[in-house]
Structure 1
Amino acid sequence: MPHTDYPASYYAASANPAPSRPPLEGDLHTDVCVIGAGYTGLSTALFLLEHGFKVVVLESARVGFGASGRNGGQIVNSYSRDLDTIERSASRRHAELIGAMAFEGGQIIRERVERYRIDCDLKDGGIFAAITSKQLRHLEAQQKLWARYGYDRLELLDAQAIRRSVASERYLGGMLDLGGGHIHPLNLALGEAAAVESLGGVIYEQTPALSIERGENPLIHTPRGKVTARFVVVAGNAYLGNLLPELTAKSMPCGTQVIATEPLSSEQAASLIPQDYCIEDCNYLLDYYRLSADKRLIYGGGVVYGARDPADIQAIIRPKMLKTFPQLQSVSIDYAWTGNFLLTLSRLPQVGRLGSNIYYSQGCSGHGVTYTHIAGKILAEALRGQAERFDAFASLPHYPFPGGHSLRVPLSALGAMYYSLRDRLGF
């Protein structure tokens, strides 16, 4: 059977030691079979194990192989579309529930890190950086919007204040979220996997789910075995393939690219981002960056619709980095990688149930580090019979892409071009 290892990223190169878990051989029975050992699957498994469920996790490659182990590592509150969009998309009660959860994901991560002693370079603080006056006005409105849901950890930054936090001339201002932060994303996933196993959960790597026989006790087929379960949680996101066609039709894998510089000197790193915050700008196709624990600048951006791997990642991302930090012209790039996230048409997550016992969460739309940890909690609540918060997310509309599979990539790319042009023109 083919063996799929981690891509050659900075995160894989600096990952904490972790076991190579064997594939499933033979047949077994369990309470819950979780498909996917990324944040959604691991978070769900942890919450279930903490409440006494017997859990098996199937992973087609390695723990954190997908977006969970390749992302920008930023703890960003709320969702890919903000709470005002959710207020227009859901009933008042459901919007209140979803809004109350918007700031919970970061808390869950911090609780997991502390309880299970996960070494993942956790740092506090994140900045939303405004390039245009329109974006600055949006941040002012966002502060008021989040305050309505009881969140008071945002500080608006004028041009002088943001330059004290980010050594770039690009920004007119910004907003500091003291409840944001950043982590080594693969090490967080590896630590959560170790926590799953410490509670008796079993993770099988190199074990793709090939098909699911639906029924009273679903049967999950893998290359060398089968799992019979009371419940199934589908958490494959952009790496699920066509396991459940009804989910594939309502989502689209997209690629994003990241680079990591050579280690900077302590003085150079401190001059770029003195408080060691993470930063993302406010463009539709945004740039995001932060310093690693060994003082590399990790810089990401760009979207490739349909998840094609670009031939030259540096050629895409390095110019973006130099536009923000021209002072890094002579700095070399040590790592460049790409990874996929799952986009929905609404850019809101899709949560639901197929039949009575197959649950899913997908479509973080590039905003998954915090949301996936919330998703794990509400999926576990639903399996325990407490479905109010699950139902709130499930009520959000799940739109198919117009034109079906063949047109979802070009139509999405056209939409992105339109919004990118708006970003550049400042309207």
Structure 2
Amino acid sequence: MANTPYPQSYYAASANAVPPRPVLQDDVETDVCVIGAGYTGLSSALFLLENGFRVTVLEAAKVGFGASGRNGGQIVNSYSRDIDVIERSVGPKQAQLLGEMAFEGGRIIRERVAKYQIQCDLKDGGVFAALNSKHMGHLESQKRLWERYGHTQLELLDERRIREVVACDNYVGGLLDMSGGHIHPLNLALGEAAAVESLGGTIYEQSAALRIERGANPVVHTAEGKVRAKFIIVAGNAYLGNLMPELAAKSMPCGTQVITTAPLGDELAKTLLPQDYCVEDCNYLLDYYRLTSDKRLIFGGGVVYGARDPANIEAIIRPKMLKAFPQLKDVKIDYAWTGNFLLTLSRLPQVGRLGDNIYYSQGCSGHGVTYTHLAGKVLAEALRGQAERFDAFADLPHYPFPGGQLLRTPFAALGAWYYGLRDKLGF
């Protein structure tokens, strides 16, 4: 039997201790079978358990193995395409619902951390950093847009103020969101999994869903067992494979790369990010970074379309880090890894139902830490018969990538090259 360990990341090396979880080797019955123990699956399971459902979670590897345990650890509000894009493409009622939900995921994370006493190094404050006047104009518009939907924990930063929060000479200003922030993402997932189990849920690891027998009482088959359920929630995202071909057709796995320095020490760390906020820039192919609890710098960026693993991650990301912080030229890199996220053509999440009892959410498009927690609540509401918010997502239009699966990677890479050129030229 295959045993898939965590990748060699900083998060895996610093993860909280957890008990081993069993492999499914029997036939079990449950109300809801959740496929995937990342944020979407764990959030769904928690909300369902809190509302009296019996829940069984199947994980192909280990809790948080995918993007949930490998991402930059940043709590960023809204969606990969912001509310103004949604407003232009859907009706006012749908836009209003989606706009109101755009800031809910971060609140859910904080509620979970407090309620279940999850140790995940939660810190408040996130900065969007502007590299030019066009970026700054976008942030001014974003502040007005978000405030129109009641999100008011925002401060525009001029060139002087942004120097007070990040020691990088490349920025002309920024936007501080105090409801943003950062966490140890794998420890958040592990804490949520422990909360699931504390409520009577069961999580099986190393138990990949291989086949779904659809029908009035669907059955999920693994290598050594099966789960009979009333409902199924498919929450595999970029690691789902071809289990549901109709979901794979409208999405594409993409990789992003992350490095982590050796410990910097309190003094150097405080000079880089004096308030310990996380930062992402405003480029289309953006860079993002933050400090860890033991004063390392985590720095990520770039996209590999088609989710190939680069041969030398440090060679890709270290120059980006040194462009922001040349003072780190002699600092050793202790960890480098890649992780996959699922991209949609619209860069908005895909939510829906297949038949009467198979629900799914996927395609966060690189903006998933907060959205996935909201998705779990919305999916749980739908299973309880409260579908208005679920329908607001399900009714978003989605299209397959041009050229099908064969050509989706080169087309997406070509588009990214164009936007990357625009980033470099500043227009």
TM range (shorter): over 0.9
SS in 1 for 2:309: coil
**In the alignment, residue 162 of structure 1 is paired with which amino acid?**
I
**Residue 223 in structure 1 maps to residue 223 in structure 2:** yes
* 1:377 paired residue number: 377
**Map of 1:334-353 to 2, 5 A cutoff?**
334-353=334-353
Correspondence for 2:110: 110
- SS of residue matched to 2:342: strand
- CA distances 1:368-397 after superposition (whole Å, capped 9, x unpaired): 000000000000000000000000000111
Correspondence for 2:17: 17
Query: Who is 1:148 aligned against?
Result: 148
User: Cα distance, 1:348 vs. partner?
Assistant: 0.2
Residue in 2 aligned with 1:324? 324
1:7 corresponds to 2:7? yes
Q: Read off the aligned partner of 1:185 and give its amino acid letter.
A: P
- Provide the residue aligned with 2:364 in structure 1: 364
The alignment partner of 1:121 has SS state of coil
Aligned-pair CA distance for 1:91:
1.6
Amino acid at match of 1:377: K
Q: Which digits, 9 at most, give the CA deviation of each residue in 1:103-129, with x for residues without a partner? A: 100000000000000000000000000
Aligned to 1:201: 201
Q: Give the letter for the 2:194 counterpart.
A: A
What SS is found at the alignment partner of 1:117? coil
Could you say which residue in structure 2 is the equivalent of 1:47? 47
Q: For residues 350 and 294 of structure 2, what CA distance do their matches in structure 1 show?
A: 36
How many residue pairs end up in the alignment? 427
C-alpha distance in 1, partners of 2:282/2:206? 38
Give me the whole-angstrom Cα distance separating, in 2, the residues matched to 1:210 and 1:402: 28
**Structure-2 residue corresponding to 1:272:** 272
Which ranges of structure 1 fall in alignment gaps of 5 or more residues?
A: none
**What's the offset of the Cα at 1:89?**
2.2
What is the distance in 2 between the residues matched to 1:233 and 1:393?
A: 15
Q: Measure, in 2, the Cα distance between the counterparts of 1:255 and 1:156.
A: 31
Query: Counterpart in 1 of 2:185?
Result: 185
Q: Report the residue type matching 1:331 in the other structure.
A: V
Q: Which amino acid aligns with 1:307?
A: A
Q: Deviations over 1:191-237 (max 9, x none)?
A: 00000000000000000000111100111110001111000000000
Aligned residue in 2 for 1:291 = 291
Letter aligned with residue 374 of structure 2: I
Deviations along 1:245-276, whole A, 9 cap, x unmatched?
Answer: 00000000000000000001111000000000
Distance 2:170 2:421 in 1: 17
Q: Which residue of 1 aligns with 2:256?
A: 256
Aligned residue for 2:138? 138
What is the aligned partner in structure 2 of residue 354 from structure 1? Answer: 354
> Could you list the per-position Cα deviations for residues 58-89 of structure 1 after superposition, in whole angstroms to 9, with x for gaps in the alignment?
00000000000000000000000000011122
**Helix, strand or coil for the counterpart of 2:351?**
strand
* Secondary structure at 1:156 match in 2: strand
2:74 is matched with 74
Quote the RMSD (CA, aligned, Å).
Answer: 0.5
**Per the alignment, in what secondary structure is the counterpart of residue 150 of structure 1?**
coil
Q: Secondary structure at the match of 2:347?
A: coil
Q: What SS does structure 2 have at the residue aligned with 1:382?
A: helix
TM-score w.r.t. structure 1 length? 1.00
User: Percent same amino acid among aligned pairs?
Assistant: 76
- What residue is the counterpart of 2:386 in the other structure? 386
Match of 1:247 in 2: 247
Alpha-carbon distance in 2 for matches of 1:228, 1:267: 56
Following the alignment from structure 2 to structure 1, what is the Cα–Cα distance between the partners of residues 20 and 351?
A: 31
SS at match of 1:128: strand
Residues in 1 aligned to 2:36 and 2:92: alpha-carbon distance in whole angstroms = 33
Distance 1:138 1:207 in 2: 45
Alpha-carbon separation, structure 1, partners of 2:192 and 2:83: 28
Q: How far did 1:321 drift? A: 0.1
The answer for the alignment partner of 2:100 in structure 1 is 100
The SS at the match of 2:353 is: strand
State the AA in 2 paired with 1:56.
T
Q: Quote the Cα distance in structure 1 between the aligned partners of 2:390 and 2:290.
A: 33
Correspondence for 1:305: 305
Unaligned runs of 5+ residues in structure 2 are none
Q: Which residue of 2 aligns with 1:121?
A: 121
Aligned-partner Cα distance in 2 for 1:191–1:90: 37
Q: Secondary structure at the match of 1:320?
A: helix
SS at match of 2:40: helix
**Residue 140 of structure 1: CA displacement?**
0.2
Q: Distance in 2 between matches of 1:19 and 1:141?
A: 47
TM-superposed CA distance for 1:132, in Å, is: 1.2
Matched residue SS, 2:340: strand
Q: Equivalent residue of 1:112, what SS?
A: helix
Q: Please state whether the residue corresponding to 2:230 is helix, strand or coil.
A: strand
The TM-score with structure 2 as length reference comes to 1.00
In structure 2, the residue corresponding to 1:164 is in which secondary structure? helix
Q: Deviations over 1:18-37 (max 9, x none)?
A: 12211101111100000000
How far apart are the structure 2 equivalents of 1:30 and 1:90?
37
Q: Secondary structure at the match of 2:364?
A: coil
CA shift for structure 1 position 318: 0.2
What residue identity is the alignment partner of 2:326? P
What CA distance in whole angstroms lies between the structure 2 residues aligned with 1:11 and 1:41?
A: 20
SS of equivalent to 1:189: helix
